Amino acid sequence: MTVELSAADIAAKLSQRFPGAVLESGGATVLVESHRLLEVARFLKETPGLDFDYVTSITAVDYCHYFEVIYHLISIQHNHTLVLKTRCHTRHNPTVPSVVALWQGAELQEREIYDLMGIAFSGHPNLKRILTWEGFPGHPLRRDYL
Amino acid sequence: MEIALPEGYNSLELDKYEGNLINALKASATQPIPDPDDWLDEELKRNIMLTSVDALLNWGRLYSVWPVNFGLACCAFEMIALAVSRFDISRFGMELFRASPRQADLMIVAGTLTWKMAPQVVRIYEQMPEPKWVLAMGVCAISGGTFSESYAVVPGVNRILPVDVYVPGCPPRPEALIHGIQKIHNKIRKDSISRRHWRELARASHDR
């Protein structure tokens, strides 16, 4: 059975390695600073014992005051999971580093978030709209769309 | 509607081309195309000499309406149910769902049509040879249904195609679809080669 790793344990490991990168942790969720997301993600993927080699889903939520981007990570090798979150606090051109270099499967999901939520992923190899068409006005899943 | 495709285009330019195409289609489709109805008062205009020719042609068309093989959403499964043994549209000479629009007479628009898909549906329709008929299947095809306010959904396929028969339901049962197809048969029975095709009239009034 898939094991949810304790976020507190992971957060302790991350704080030791990247001081100040972890903002919150609870349950199976770790919230990190967006500008340190990539190094944290690389650490989670490449550290023996963690080996998060697969991202099952990436999604985003508009909380009006900020956007939250959520990564559901899984290790196929160890059969354990973790939820990684990050936030961006600007509504105009919010940006999060892309994790496509680590997990190839993130490419289409990041494009979907860019399309529907308007969050740019810096370093994405092919960031353009995917569900709506080029020239579509706005980003339809934002709370202030309409 | 025609937009020039740039020479030596790359992927993003192709996307922009597609986006311009959709925006142009959306801008030109603010009003529904009037349903073709000039066949209603056709009796008086009929030429007696042509009657037997009409009868033969209409009989031939009537019992060999070949639908084009495409489905957009869940309604397509009811259309598939119609095609197989329980409902069996081969009883009407229609079992040949054509994979090529060039061999088809009837377009069953089965399901929700999105603006992203709309140019392709118009292209399939335009590839079908005359005479051709369109059946809007389900509330999404009729009016957008529950998605009619959506940014992504065409509010009724009669914005982009002239529709002959509307079959309501969510989805319509295959019996309802058979009923709609029989309405199309009735329409074909009243057709005549003695006049300009009504679809051109519908197009002309829409373009005006």
pLDDT tens digits, residue range B124-159?
A: 998 988 888 999 999 999 999 899 888 899 999 999
Q: What percent of chain B has pLDDT over 70?
A: 81
Between β-strands A95-97 and A120-122, what pairing exists: parallel, antiparallel or unpaired? parallel
Q: What is the pLDDT of residue A114?
A: 93
Strand partners, B110: B137
Residues in chain B: 208
Q: Please tell me the predicted confidence (pLDDT) of residue B202.
A: 56
CB-closest option in B19, B115, B151 to A134: B19
Query: In the predicted model, is pLDDT for residue B204 greater than 70?
Result: no
Q: In the structure, what pLDDT confidence band is assigned to residue B16 with cuts at 50, 70 and 90? A: confident
Burial grade of B197 (CB within 10 A; 0-12, 13-18, 19 or more): middle
Q: Above 50 in pLDDT, residue A38?
A: yes
Residues in chain A with CB shorter than 8 Å from the CB of B15 are 128-129, 133-134
- The pLDDT of residue A110 is above 60: yes
Query: Quick one: average pLDDT of A18-38?
Result: 87
Of the residues A134, A136, A142, A144, the best mutation for testing chain B's interface (the one with the most B CB atoms within 10 Å of its CB) is: A134
Residue of A nearest to B24 (CA): A135
Q: Identify the residue with better confidence: B8 or A122.
A: A122
> Which of B151, B153, B154 to probe by mutation at the A interface, max A CB count within 10 Å?
B151
pLDDT tens per residue, range B154-193? 999 999 999 999 999 999 999 999 999 999 998 888 877 6
pLDDT given at position B48: 52
Cβ within 8 Å, pair B18-A133: yes
Angle (deg, nearest 10), helices B75-83 and B174-189 = 70
Return phi, psi of residue A135, to 5°.
95, 0
Q: State residue B174's pLDDT score.
A: 92
A 107-136: CB under 8 A from B: 126, 128-129, 131-136
Asked if B140 and B114 count as a contact pair (C-beta separation under 8 A), the reply is: no
N-term to C-term CA, chain B: 15
A141: closest chain B residue by CA: B151
* pLDDT at residue B34 in the model: 84
Chain B residues with CB within 8 Å of chain A CB:
11-12, 15-16, 18-20, 22-23, 115-116, 151-152
Closest residue in A to B16 (Cα–Cα)? A134
Query: Across all residues in chain A, what is the average pLDDT?
Result: 90
Could you tell me which residues come within 8 angstroms of residue A52 by beta carbon, excluding any fewer than 6 positions away?
Answer: A44, A45, A73, A74, A75, A82
Contact B162, B203 (CB under 8 A): yes
Q: How confident is the model at residue B208 (pLDDT cuts 50, 70, 90)?
A: very low
pLDDT of residue B180: 94
Nearest residue on chain B to A130, judged by CA atoms? B15
As a whole number, mean pLDDT of residues A116-122 equals 92
Contact B20 A135 (CB under 8 A): yes
What distances in angstroms separate CA A79 from CA A1, A41, A47, B138, one per listed residue?
7, 17, 15, 45
Six token digits for residue A108: 């289409």
What is the tens place of the pLDDT at every residue in A46-78? Answer: 988 889 999 999 999 999 899 999 999 999 989
Domains and CATH numbers, chain A: 3-122 (3.30.460.80)
A59 touches B at CB < 8 Å: no
The pLDDT of residue B165 is 93
Minimal-distance CA residue of chain B relative to A139: B151
Contact list, B16 vs chain A (CB under 8 Å): 134-135
Average pLDDT, chain B: 84
Terminal CA-to-CA distance of chain A, rounded, Å? 44
Residue of A nearest to B153 (CA): A132
Residues A104 and A49 sit within 8 Å (Cβ to Cβ): no
Q: Binning pLDDT at 50, 70 and 90, where does residue A98 land? A: very high
Interface touch B115/A140, C-beta < 8 Å: no
CA neighbours closer than 13 Å in the CB half-sphere of residue B155? 9
Better-predicted residue by pLDDT, A80 or B200: A80
Min Cα separation B200/chain A (Å): 30
**pLDDT at B2 exceeding the cut of 60:** no
Q: Give the pLDDT band of residue A109 (cuts 50, 70, 90).
A: very high
Q: Which helix (H) or strand (E) holds B110?
A: strand B106-110
Which of A126, A131, A133 is closest, CB to CB, to B19? Answer: A133
Q: pLDDT per residue over B33-64, tens digit each?
A: 888 776 666 565 555 555 677 788 888 888 99
Q: Is A121 helix (H, G, I), strand (E, B) or coil?
A: strand
Q: Over range A117-121, report the average pLDDT.
A: 92
Q: Cβ-count burial of B203 within 10 angstroms (0-12 exposed, 13-18 middle, 19+ buried)? A: middle
Round to whole Å and give the CA distance between A117 and A107.
15
